[in-house]
C-alpha cells in the first residue's frame, strides 16, 4: 500500500491519496455498513473523510445531516478521531426556499457549523468547505466568518467546492488583500469522462496558487467501474440514471481503454481510473465512495497501482474532451 501523505494547500493537513466520500452513509449504506467501511478505511492507512451537512437530504424521509450523524456516532464508538481528517461542507439548502438555511452568510455559517459539530460529535472540523459559491453574500463577509471560526478553534482550514475559476481567483485575491484566511483546497467535478472544465481553467489556477485538489465523482457515479455498459445496466443502482449521458462512443471507448490497462496490471477498471487521477500533478486525493468493505478494499488498492507513461498516454488520448 502506498502510504504517502500529501499536504492540503498551505494548511497543516496531510491526507492520504484517496478520500472516502460519505454521501452514501445513511442512504445506500446503512449505519452498520457505514461503520464497517469506516473501520476498513482507517485500517488501510487512509484518513480523509469527506461529507456535507446536506447528505442525504435528497432521499425520501431525510432532512440532511444523516451522513454527519453516522460519522459522529462512529467517532464516539471507535475512538478514532485523532486518526482522521474530517471534511464537511456548508452552503447547499438545508431548508425550504426563504428559510435562510443556505448560502455563505455569516449568520448561516455560524449556525451550520454549530449543527455540523453537534452531529459529528467533535469540537473541530479539519476542513470546512463552501459547498457552492454564493454571489449574494460578499466574499469579505464569508471569509471573515471563517476567520472567526478558525480563531475559535472550531475549524482548522477552509476549502471551496463547485467554484468557477474566476470566482475562486476573486476569492483568493480578496483574502490576500484583506489578510483573511483563504481557501486551501478545491473540490471540482473531475474524472476521466469529466475533464475539460477542471483542466482548462481550474487546474492552472490551483497549481499556481498551491491549492489542494480533492475532486468529487472520481468514478463518475460508478460509470468508471465498468458496471454500466448499456442502458439495461442503469437499473443496477439508485445512481444509475446519473451515468446515462456517458453511454456514448467516447464513454464506451474510455471503458475499453480501462479494461485494457487493467488487464495488463491485473487490476480493475476502477483502480485504474483512480490511479490515473492520483498520478496527475496537482491532484491531492480523488474522492470515492464505497457501500461495502470489499468495495473499499478494491478502491484502496489504486493507491499502490503505478501506471506507466504509456498507460497514462493511452487514457489521456481516449478521454480527451474537445
Q: Which three three-digit cell numbers place residue 56?
A: 442525504
In this prediction, the residues of the chain whose per-residue pLDDT falls under 50 are 1
Residue 3's pLDDT is what? 57
The residue from 55, 128, 190, 246 that is catalytic is 55
Q: Is 183 a catalytic residue?
A: no
Q: Look at residues 71, 31, 70 and name the one whose alpha carbon lies nearest to residue 48.
A: 71
**Cα 64 to Cα 94, 107, 265, distances in angstroms:** 7, 19, 41
- Packing angle between helix 249-265 and helix 309-319, nearest 10 degrees? 170
DSSP code of residue 157: E
How crowded is residue 308: how many other Cβ atoms within 10 Å of its Cβ? 12
CA-to-CA distance for 279 and 17, rounded, in angstroms?
10
pTM: 0.96
Q: Give residue-wise pLDDT tens across range 7-49.
A: 999 999 999 999 999 999 999 999 999 999 999 999 999 999 9
Considering just the CA atoms, what is the radius of gyration of the chain in Å?
19
**Cα 251 to Cα 193, 209, 265, 317, distances in angstroms:** 7, 32, 21, 12
Q: Which three three-digit cell numbers place residue 16?
A: 492520504
CA-to-CA distance for 112 and 117, rounded, in angstroms?
9
CA-to-CA distance for 123 and 316, rounded, in angstroms?
43
Residue 113's pLDDT is what? 98
Q: What's the residue count for the chain? A: 322
Residue 236's pLDDT is what? 78
Q: Omega into 56 within 30° of 0, i.e. cis?
A: yes
DSSP code of residue 56: T
Residue 241's pLDDT is what? 79
Domain ranges in the chain? 6-225+280-307
**Domain 6-225+280-307 fold:** TIM Barrel (3.20.20)
Residue 321's pLDDT is what? 80
CA-to-CA distance for 242 and 240, rounded, in angstroms?
5
CA-to-CA distance for 263 and 255, rounded, in angstroms?
12
Amino acid at each position: 500500500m502506498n502510504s504517502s501523505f500529501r499536504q492540503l494547500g498551505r494548511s497543516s493537513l496531510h491526507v492520504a491519496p484517496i478520500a472516502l466520500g460519505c454521501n452514501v452513509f445513511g442512504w445506500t449504506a446503512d449505519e452498520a455498513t457505514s461503520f464497517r467501511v469506516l473501520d476498513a478505511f482507517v485500517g488501510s492507512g487512509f484518513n480523509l473523510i469527506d461529507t456535507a451537512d446536506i447528505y442525504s437530504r435528497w432521499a425520501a424521509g431525510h432532512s440532511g445531516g444523516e451522513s454527519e450523524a453516522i460519522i459522529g456516532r462512529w467517532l464516539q464508538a471507535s475512538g478514532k478521531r485523532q486518526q482522521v481528517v474530517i471534511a464537511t461542507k456548508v452552503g447547499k439548502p438545508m431548508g425550504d426556499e426563504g428559510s435562510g438555511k443556505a448560502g455563505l452568510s455569516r449568520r448561516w455559517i455560524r449556525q451550520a457549523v454549530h449543527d455540523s459539530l453537534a452531529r459529528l460529535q467533535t469540537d473541530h472540523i479539519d476542513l470546512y468547505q463552501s459547498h457552492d459559491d454564493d454571489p449574494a453574500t460578499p466574499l469579505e463577509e464569508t471569509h471573515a466568518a471563517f476567520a472567526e471560526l478558525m480563531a475559535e478553534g472550531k475549524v482548522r482550514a477552509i476549502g471551496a467546492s463547485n467554484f468557477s475559476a474566476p470566482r475562486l481567483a476573486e476569492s483568493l485575491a480578496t483574502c490576500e488583500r484583506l489578510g483573511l484566511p483563504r481557501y486551501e483546497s478545491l473540490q471540482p467535478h473531475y474524472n476521466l469522462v469529466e475533464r475539460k472544465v477542471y483542466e482548462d481553467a481550474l487546474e492552472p489556477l490551483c497549481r499556481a496558487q498551491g491549492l489542494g485538489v480533492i475532486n468529487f465523482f472520481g468514478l463518475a457515479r460508478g460509470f468508471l467501474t465498468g458496471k454500466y455498459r448499456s442502458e439495461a445496466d442503469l437499473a443496477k443502482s439508485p445512481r444509475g440514471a446519473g451515468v446515462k449521458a456517458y453511454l456514448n462512443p467516447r464513454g464506451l471507448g474510455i471503458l475499453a481503454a480501462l479494461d485494457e490497462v487493467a488487464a495488463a496490471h491485473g487490476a480493475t477498471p476502477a483502480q485504474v481510473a483512480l490511479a490515473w487521477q492520483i498520478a496527475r500533478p496537482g491532484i491531492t486525493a480523488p474522492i470515492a465512495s464505497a457501500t461495502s468493505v470489499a468495495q473499499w478494499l478494491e478502491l484502496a488498492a489504486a493507491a499502490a497501482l503505478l501506471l506507466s507513461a504509456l498507460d497514462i498516454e493511452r487514457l489521456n488520448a481516449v478521454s480527451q474532451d474537445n
